[in-house]
Amino acid sequence: MNTNEEAKPKLQLTKIWKCKNESCKAWVREEFAVADQLCPMCKGPMLRTMKHLPALQKKAKARTK
């Protein structure tokens, strides 16, 4: 049990697409990216990488009580 972690959101290593342009900070979560994802900001090519992000809240399925 890890009581210390309750307050802050859990970071999860998440697959993302990141813009190849170093001066552009844009990135997209892989689960929202399409096959030929282009940068939403500069329309340049993107690169698959990983990033620590807060875990996404899944809306669907409520847990059984």
Binding residues for Zn ion, rule: CB under 5 A, are: 19, 21, 24, 26, 39, 41-42, 44
Round to whole Å and give the CA distance between 42 and 25. Answer: 10
Round to whole Å and give the CA distance between 51 and 58. Answer: 19
Minimum CB separation of residue 1 from Zn ion in Å reads: 42
Minimum CB separation of residue 42 from Zn ion in Å reads: 3
With a CB cutoff of 8 Å and minimum separation 6, the contacts of 44 are 19, 20, 21, 24, 38
Minimum CB separation of residue 47 from Zn ion in Å reads: 10
Q: Which is nearer to Zn ion, 16 or 39 (CB)?
A: 39
